[in-house]
């Protein structure tokens, strides 16, 4: 049993001597024991801990053992219950078994019988855990093995991907930071007719405006100072294949205009050249922004928006598909256990509940980082709640009643202070990794860089 999480056993008996006897008798076994003296105490304990096995006295203060068993099994459906009583009548045994008890034994308790029955119960506990894990694995299969999800929100995404992957059309992929836009782009590529050709990825937010034109379209030798040789751009490299333009909203208006022409004509001209180059490519564009709002605010060209938005694919945030959180967490658990040589079998029930209740502002990327961090810190056979680290932007403290707002701060300076503090906290939480900090804050890396310069954080 060394590779299995020690079973959590709840012992409920109002007799202190019996509780002490059971604790002493089982202390050398690999069990996690919790003692309760009443039904109310047992119910309170079960509200916060998912016990695996319960030893219940038939006559416990506040409720008889069979009623308590039903109450506890209603809270913990897979709970294995053993009933202890001084009155072992056949009718009572039959009723206990019919109502869901695993086994039944009478006082005075024979320690050898107790250990034997408990070992059988533990075998059942291990089997139940393995069956639950296998069931979850089988349930969460998608048409695309690369993407994990079985929620209704993901079913719609899969149906759309099956239709558009093989159709040779340009696609706009939208979704919050960390939802998996690049993964969806990879799936489209690998399931398309162009899978044998090049797949070129460009992060528009990571390339300065002054260099983006040359990166995308290339340049001729001598096109500008320092252009000592011909450069083939990303679009040319994607000829007969596919190109992904990530964070497309970070392009300035000039580049948006050039891109519109390239999409329409499938032709580019290198910087410094005047010879049109005809290309054959399929384009995917991705953004974590609301493009419709960007158009209304005149930050994105309307004609380019309508040209890109012919086949839109939206990836739902993780908070809208909570059914997928635990399967995703288990996937990352297996992945990082293999990488780090760990032998963590599963998430504890409490860890699963905690993950499912969290909003995940950083979406799947945040969940992956959280599980990676937890695997590194965990030593036990289960990943527990104490190993999970959650990041929350700092909440402003409420102003006490009667205290006026400080008159010295303007709105702009107050907002600036909050924004700066949030950036500092995000950078500290991810140990200075700017890409992850940007994802936590739901902004592009370029925007984070500009804000860090604005607030004098570049040396930190």
Instruction: Check residue 406 and give its pLDDT.
Output: 46
Query: What is the CATH number that goes with domain 152-314?
Result: 3.40.50.300
* Fold match flag (152-314 vs 391-460): no
Instruction: Check residue 399 and give its pLDDT.
Output: 38
CATH 1.10.8.60 fits 322-387, yes or no: yes
Taking the domains of the chain in order of start, what are their residue ranges? 8-139, 152-314, 322-387, 391-460
Taking every pair of C-alpha atoms in the chain, what is the biggest distance, in angstroms? 100
What value does the mean pLDDT of the chain take? 84
Domain 391-460: state its class. mainly alpha
Sorting pLDDT into bands at 50, 70 and 90, what band is 409? Answer: very low
Instruction: Check residue 134 and give its pLDDT.
Output: 61
Instruction: Check residue 73 and give its pLDDT.
Output: 87
Instruction: Check residue 397 and give its pLDDT.
Output: 36
- Given a contact cutoff of 8 angstroms between Cβ atoms, the answer to whether 362 and 440 are in contact is yes
Query: pTM for this structure?
Result: 0.61
The residue among 270, 352, 283, 272 whose CA lies nearest residue 311 is: 283
Instruction: Check residue 394 and give its pLDDT.
Output: 40
Distance between CA 13 and CA 17 in Å, rounded?
A: 9
CATH architecture of 8-139: 3-Layer(aba) Sandwich (3.40)
Read off the DSSP letter of residue 343.
Answer: -
Distance between CA 194 and CA 189 in Å, rounded?
A: 7
Q: Is 345 exposed, middle or buried (0-12, 13-18, 19+ CB in 10 A)?
A: middle
> Cβ of 10: how many Cβ atoms within 10 Å?
24
Mean pLDDT value of segment 268-284: 93
**What confidence tens digit (pLDDT) does each residue in 54-97 have?**
999 888 888 888 899 999 988 888 899 998 887 767 777 788 88
Instruction: Check residue 97 and give its pLDDT.
Output: 84
Instruction: Check residue 414 and give its pLDDT.
Output: 57
**What confidence tens digit (pLDDT) does each residue in 106-146 have?**
888 888 888 888 888 888 877 777 666 666 555 545 678 78
Of how many residues is the chain composed? 460
Residue 217: phi and psi, rounded to 5, are -110, -5
């Amino acid at each position: 049993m060394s590779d299995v999480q020690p079973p959590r056993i709840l012992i409920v008996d109002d007799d202190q001597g019996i509780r002490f006897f059971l604790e002493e008798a089982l202390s050398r076994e690999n069990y996690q024991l919790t003692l309760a003296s009443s039904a109310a105490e047992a119910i309170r304990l079960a509200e916060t801990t998912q016990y695996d096995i319960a030893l219940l006295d038939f006559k416990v203060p506040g409720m008889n053992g069979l009623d308590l068993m039903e109450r506890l099994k209603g809270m913990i459906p897979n709970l294995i219950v053993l009933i202890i009583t001084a009155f072992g009548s056949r009718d009572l045994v039959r009723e206990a078994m019919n109502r869901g008890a695993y086994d039944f034994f009478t006082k005075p308790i024979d320690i050898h019988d107790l250990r034997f029955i408990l070992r059988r119960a533990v075998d059942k506990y291990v089997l139940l855990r393995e069956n639950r894990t296998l069931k979850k694995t089988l349930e969460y299969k998608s048409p695309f093995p690369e993407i994990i999800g079985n929620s209704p929100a993901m079913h719609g995404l899969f149906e759309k991907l099956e239709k558009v992957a093989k159709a040779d059309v340009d696609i706009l992929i939208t979704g919050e930071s960390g939802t998996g836009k690049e993964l969806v782009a990879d799936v489209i590529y690998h399931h398309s007719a162009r899978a044998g050709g090049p797949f070129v990825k460009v992060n528009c937010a990571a390339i300065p405006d002054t260099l983006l034109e040359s990166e995308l379209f290339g340049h001729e030798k001598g096109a500008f100072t320092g252009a000592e040789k011909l450069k083939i751009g990303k679009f040319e490299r994607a000829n007969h294949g596919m190109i992904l333009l990530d964070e497309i909203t970070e392009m300035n208006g000039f580049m948006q205009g050039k891109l519109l022409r390239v999409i329409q004509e499938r032709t580019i001209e290198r910087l410094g050249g005047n010879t049109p180059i005809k290309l054959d490519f399929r384009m995917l564009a991705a953004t974590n922004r609301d493009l419709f709002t960007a158009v209304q605010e005149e930050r994105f060209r309307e004609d380019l928006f309508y040209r890109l938005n012919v086949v839109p694919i939206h990836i739902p945030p993780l908070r809208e598909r909570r059914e997928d959180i635990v399967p995703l967490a288990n996937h990352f658990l297996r992945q990082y256990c293999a990488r780090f040589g760990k032998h963590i079998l599963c998430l504890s029930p409490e860890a699963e509940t905690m993950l499912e209740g969290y909003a995940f502002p950083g979406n799947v990327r945040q969940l992956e980082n959280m599980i990676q961090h937890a695997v590194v810190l965990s030593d036990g056979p289960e990943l527990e709640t104490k190993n999970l680290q959650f990041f929350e932007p700092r909440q402003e403290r409420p102003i006490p009643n009667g205290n006026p707002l400080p008159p010295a701060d303007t709105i702009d300076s107050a907002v600036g202070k909050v924004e700066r503090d949030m950036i500092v906290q995000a950078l500290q939480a991810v140990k200075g990794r700017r890409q992850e900090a940007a994802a936590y804050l739901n902004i592009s890396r370029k925007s984070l860089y500009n804000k860090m310069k604005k607030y004098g954080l570049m040396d930190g």
